[in-house]
């Protein structure tokens, strides 16, 4: 098996259907399997996909893991990873759609560049504009500004522009520090070496840790504009609101800093948590719609 595609779903039945349709339509001349891991969806995702993709289930090209609990993103990905047979692994969000034989192009690149441990491609919003999916590794100052929600007003500060890679050229191939976990193309051997996704993260920041763990192996991370994929951003995550979303984001940030940064930085960010939650409450109270970092 050349490629295993792992997709974690949660209440995105129609989007998951569209993604699978596009994969089966465009993927050609490649031995692949799809593993859908459903985190206890309440919209009938599992039965719906079983009904629509029965032939692929019967021949073993599609496997659906039906969880009776929402285990979060990292653990669900690891469930799929445990049964994956592919030489390469693609972790892919369900709110995506492919437009051509994208996977074949990336497999060919990975075959020719054994030093690359993780790759991504160009992502497009639903309106076909480019979605920023590259950042630099975080540091205390840029994350403090984000925690205090100052990035909405001070996005032109050098530290934020550097972290968010505001000047990144999405038309050129480039080796990078961090990619968005929505489309993460890697090797099974790499994932085995790092023991999969770090399950200390439930949602958010797990992709940063993945990049960090792969960097520790001295493997390269690369952005490839050789193909593009539509990403109807955040349709699963949009179901988590205000306080809950901020709580999960902050917990991921603290976990990352505790694992990868000096303890004093973790401690300072921990001390500012109450202010972060107050600001979240105020934005909810005054109905201020927060922007994702990719849209700042």
Whether 210 and 63 share a structural domain: yes
Domain boundary among 188, 217, 238: 238
Rounded Cα–Cα distance for residues 121 and 71 (Å): 27
Whether 173 and 214 share a structural domain: yes
**How many distinct structural domains can be found in the chain?**
2
Enter the DSSP assignment of 166. T
Whether 245 and 222 share a structural domain: no
Whether 290 and 231 share a structural domain: no
Q: What is the pLDDT of residues 99-123, one digit of tens each?
A: 999 999 999 999 999 999 999 999 9
Q: What is the pLDDT of residues 158-212, one digit of tens each?
A: 989 999 999 999 999 999 999 999 999 999 999 999 999 999 998 889 999 999 9
Q: What is the mean pLDDT of residues 214-242?
A: 83
For residue 160, is it within any domain? no
Enter the DSSP assignment of 156. T
Rounded Cα–Cα distance for residues 19 and 7 (Å): 10
Q: What is the pLDDT of residues 253-277, one digit of tens each?
A: 999 999 999 999 999 999 999 888 7
> Which pTM does this prediction carry?
0.92
Residues 6+ apart with CB under 8 A from 111: none
For residue 44, is it within any domain? yes
Quote the domain boundaries for residue 113: 3-132+168-238
Rounded Cα–Cα distance for residues 138 and 164 (Å): 9
Rounded Cα–Cα distance for residues 279 and 220 (Å): 38
CATH code at position 23: 3.90.550.10
**DSSP of 199-249, one letter per residue?**
TT-SSSSHHHHHHHHHHHTT-EEEEEEEEEEEE-TTTTGGGS-HHHHHHHH
For residue 80, is it within any domain? yes
Domain boundary among 221, 238, 255: 238
Whether 122 and 262 share a structural domain: no
Whether 184 and 272 share a structural domain: no
pLDDT recorded at residue 170? 97
Whether 174 and 145 share a structural domain: no
Task: Bin 141: left if φ > 0, else alpha if -120 < ψ < 50, else beta.
Answer: alpha
For residue 217, is it within any domain? yes
């Amino acid at each position: 098996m050349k490629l295993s595609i792992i997709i974690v779903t949660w209440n995105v039945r129609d989007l998951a259907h569209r993604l699978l349709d596009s994969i089966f339509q465009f993927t050609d001349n490649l031995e692949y399997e799809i593993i859908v891991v459903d985190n206890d969806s309440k919209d009938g995702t599992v039965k719906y996909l079983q009904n629509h993709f029965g032939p692929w289930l019967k021949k073993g090209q599609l496997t659906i893991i039906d969880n009776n609990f929402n285990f979060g993103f990292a653990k669900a990905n690891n469930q799929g990873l445990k049964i994956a047979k592919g030489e390469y692994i693609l972790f892919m969000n369900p709110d995506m759609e492919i437009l051509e034989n994208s996977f074949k192009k990336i497999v060919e690149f990975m075959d020719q560049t054994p030093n690359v441990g993780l790759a991504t491609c160009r992502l497009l919003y639903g309106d076909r504009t480019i979605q920023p999916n590259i950042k630099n590794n975080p540091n205390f100052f840029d994350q403090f500004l984000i925690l205090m929600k100052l990035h909405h007003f001070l996005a032109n500060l050098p530290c934020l522009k550097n972290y968010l890679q505001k000047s990144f050229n999405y038309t050129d191939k480039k080796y990078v520090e961090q990619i968005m976990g929505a489309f993460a193309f890697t090797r099974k051997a790499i994932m085995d070496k790092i023991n999969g996704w770090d399950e200390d993260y439930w949602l958010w920041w797990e992709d940063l840790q993945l990049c960090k763990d792969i960097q520790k192996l001295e493997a390269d991370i690369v952005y490839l504009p050789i193909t593009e994929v539509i990403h109807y951003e955040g349709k699963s995550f949009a179901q988590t609101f205000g306080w809950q979303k901020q709580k999960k984001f902050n917990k991921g940030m603290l976990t990352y800093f505790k694992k990868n940064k000096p303890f004093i930085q973790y401690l300072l960010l921990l001390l500012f948590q109450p202010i972060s939650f107050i600001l979240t409450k105020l934005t909810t109270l005054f109905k201020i719609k927060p922007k994702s970092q990719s849209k700042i």
